[in-house]
Structure 1
Amino acid sequence: MTDSPSASSLIIGGAASSPRAPLPTLPPLALYIHIPWCVRKCPYCDFNSHTASPVLPEQEYVDALLADLDQDLHAVYGREISSIFFGGGTPSLFSAEALGRLLKGVEQRIPFAHDIEITLEANPGTFEQEKFVAYRKLGINRLSIGIQSFQQQKLEALGRIHNGDEAVRAAGMARQAGFDNFNLDLMHGLPDQSLEDALSDLRQAIELKPTHISWYQLTLEPNTVFWNQPPVLPEDDTLWDIQEAGQALLAEHGYAQYEVSAYAQPGRPARHNLNYWSFGDFIGIGAGAHGKLSHPDGRIVRTWKTRLPKDYLNPAKSFQAGEKALNNDEMPFEFLMNALRLTAGVESHLYPERTGLPLESLAEHRREAEQSGLMQVEPSRLAATERGQLFLNDLLQKFLS
């Protein structure tokens, strides 16, 4: 844990910067709710997820989530929530009754925006028609369905519990339940995957007419089964061919890429994620949830909650595991690691508005990134070039103090 940053000048990019200014307005506020249980842990997954017992502690966990939120309320007094995202784990393992009690409790504590977006992550293997009709009646108005692949061999390699037919039916059931806005999660670069395999998955997803497709490459992450027992993945040339052909196919069918791995029909980007990528604020509640909150005096604080469900549910333990106030020299990287994921970047004025620091504090590193062909030379925007999108980690390294 660190103290709040002082008002003294700090050195950024080799030149003295101005003290951080009070924020003229606070950014939009979102709420992330983590439900950490899955039917089975997937071998590629590095999220905070845990195999569910036959009976989930729904009532106890909802009580804990609301108590957790109560402890964060002092930092968001007078603000409203623009979006809610139920992530996991598999939030659709919870009953509509439990989620309804939770949403009612949240709204009693913080006002909802009139056009609030409420997203629930779900897996095809957990789809039940009646449950999803009930979810929709609660005000949940967007689903994110974890398909990953429609091909049985690939699903088995990924440790998924659903099959391709269930994945296809899930999209239809979502629509029948009243969801006119839903995302399909799809992976590429799977074990032994060919170009045609990958495009076949993508064509099937497009045929289901989701409003949004998250299409991302499988990566091997530490602390996963795949990290310790790596499968045979496609060669780099095949991965490049998949990426190029897949992006062209998505564009052909009206799915515009607006983020590294996010494609949406017109007017249908994920508002919750857009807020995150544009350095908006979010409360994080639930086991292992992270949050980021801005304060009028210019302080920006990241928080993280107790990770293990048994500890999170233990009244003797604190919900919050830690917090860190961002200092001035961390701010360029913190802001840009999100903003530069957006294909269009963000308007330049957003940097001083969301960080309290002058745009000039980026100038030296920005010029270097522009000269390297990684950032667009466009004064009114902070945006990566196409090459910068491909080598985003190299681009971001230029803004590390």
Structure 2
Amino acid sequence: MIPIKVAGSDLGKLAGESRSPAATALQYLQPGALNLTALPPLSLYIHFPWCVRKCPYCDFNSHEAKGALPEKEYLDAVRLDLEQSLPMIWGRKIHTIFIGGGTPSLMSAAGLDRLMSDVRTLLPLALDAEITMEANPGTFEAERFKSYRDSGINRLSIGIQSFNGNHLKALGRIHDEAEALRAVEIARSTFDNFNLDLMFALPGQTLDEARRDLQTALSFAPPHLSMYHLTMEPNTVFAKYPPTLPDDDTSADMQDMILEATASAGYQHYEVSAYAQSGRQAKHNLNYWQFGDYLGIGAGAHSKISFPHRVLRQARYKQPGSFIEAAKRGNPVQEEHEIARGDMGFEFMLNALRLTEGFDPNLFGERTGMSISAITKALNEAEGKGLLYRDHKLIKPTELGQRFLNDLQEMFLGS
């Protein structure tokens, strides 16, 4: 946590703004401005936008690789993006890094080494920084992953999704069951810390098949598991041509099975979709859920950056070519806005309510610059409906609240 000084250089004056520090300060101190007494922890997200093939359920900013990737040109643009972002975060330490996509494991070993070198040159990293990279089992090469580790990656997140060949085909994945098993073996022998992504409620999936997927994953004793319910996201192939999915009762049975099996194996269910061995929670994701700050660089990346009297959100250009050209021109940010004071309570609770063990009420004030009284009405209503537990030290969703999390979160809209 970094104490905030109310001085011109600390007011978050962005590169390219024409306001003077005095004028900026005057704007921030108007009625309705926030009052953060300290800045939250800061993470770095780096987006690599290409993949081998777009999966029919995927709504992430990913683009099928056609021909040779413009890796050097893209990494040049990412460095420019980072350099142009430095005035917003000057002097702040990076606690976690996450390289996501797309399929970052399509990056060459030399490219990843160059990327990490650029980051270390431009940013102060915490000595114990968690540095995660996403990987697709269809791209695993043992020697390349050893090179990734040597470049500084200390945590791998593997998109397994299923160990069942038929379900992998239905999901449009580029790997088969054998490649999935091999990927986990390589990860386990190369990295001390890794995560396995699995999905359930897949097209045609039975409860027994979901159980076998989970048992296979647990047999590797991964430090961390992410278990996602397949959803039909807008603007995906599955949304346009929906497959036949398990009914709600079967999906609920799968969820109950997952909770029981992971608990029996010694995993803590600490976030809606996340299960971890003791001390192995994903620090990067925890920072999101605790409404920490993150700088997102690369095509389509999103940022949330706090200043003494405002919180800023940004989004980069999504198309890789457009992002590269915008970075060369000096501003890869396509959209930018401040979070309105009236939306701050909802934005905080949208994230924090995902934590099954809840949060200290003081965290609300630390991260929003507002009093917890701003959401008292919604808290009372949620507590009255049995969706929320709270006392002077803790606010957390009840078991019922976890089951109906969307309904619980929506109660804080406009609070």
Q: TM > 0.5 between the two?
A: yes
Ranges of 4+ aligned residues in structure 1 off by more than 3 Å? 3-7, 315-318
- Confirm or deny that 1:216 pairs with 2:228: yes
C-alpha contact 1:258 1:344 (8 A) present in aligned 2: yes
Give the one of 148, 151, 173 matched to 2:161: 148
Aligned equivalent of 1:136, options 136, 142, 149: 149
Mind listing any 5+ residue stretches in structure 1 that lack a counterpart? 10-18
Which residue does 2:78 correspond to in 1?
65
- The equivalent residue for 1:193 is 205
Q: Work out whether 1:75 is the aligned partner of 2:98.
A: no
**Residue aligning to 1:226:** 238
Q: Deviations over 1:90-117 (max 9, x none)?
A: 0000011111111111111111100000
* Superposition map of 1:47-62 within 5 A: 47-62=60-75
Equivalent residues of 1:287, 1:308 under 8 A apart: yes
Contact 1:36 1:49 in 2 (8 A): yes
Equivalent residues, number: 387
Instruction: Look up the match of 1:89.
Output: 102
Corresponding letter in the other structure for 2:357: A
Which residue identity is paired with 1:310? G
1:43 and 2:53 aligned: no
Are 1:253 and 2:239 an aligned pair?
no
Aligned-pair distance for 1:5? Answer: 6.5
Give 1:317 deviation, angstroms: 7.9
2:133, 2:153 within 8 Å by CA — same for their partners in 1?
Answer: yes
Match of 1:307 in 2: 318
1:200-236 C-alpha deviation (Å, 9 max, x unpaired): 0000000011100000100000000000000000011
Q: Distance in 1 between matches of 2:30 and 2:361?
A: 23
Instruction: Give 1:20 shift.
Output: 2.7
CA contact (8 A) 1:32 1:283 kept: yes
Q: TM-score, normalised by structure 1?
A: 0.94
Matched, 1:345 2:368: no
Task: Supply the AA of the counterpart residue of 1:264.
Answer: A
- TM-score normalized with structure 2 length: 0.91
> What SS does the corresponding residue of 2:138 show, helix, strand or coil?
helix
Q: Percent identity?
A: 52
RMSD of the TM alignment (CA)? 1.3
Q: Which amino acid aligns with 1:320?
A: V
Q: Distance in 2 between matches of 1:51 and 1:6?
A: 47
What amino acid is aligned across from residue 20 of structure 1 in structure 2?
L
Kept after mapping to 2: 8 A contact 1:347/1:380 = yes
Partner of 1:399: 412
Q: 1:119 touches 1:141 (CA, 8 Å); kept in 2?
A: yes
- The answer to whether structure 1 residue 110 and structure 2 residue 93 are counterparts is no
CA–CA distance in structure 2, aligned partners of residues 383 and 6 of structure 1: 33
Q: How much has 1:334 moved relative to structure 2? A: 0.5
Q: Please give the per-residue CA displacement for 1:288-336, whole angstroms capped at 9, x wherever unaligned.
A: 00000001x2210011000101111223584100111112110011001
Instruction: Say if 2:310 is the partner of 1:288.
Output: no
In structure 2, stretches of 5+ residues that fail to align are 1-23
Relative to structure 1, the CA distance from residue 231 to residue 6 in structure 2 (aligned partners, 3 Å threshold; closer, same or farther) is: farther
User: How many Å separate the matches in 2 of 1:210 and 1:273?
Assistant: 17
1:355 matched to 2:368? The reply is: yes
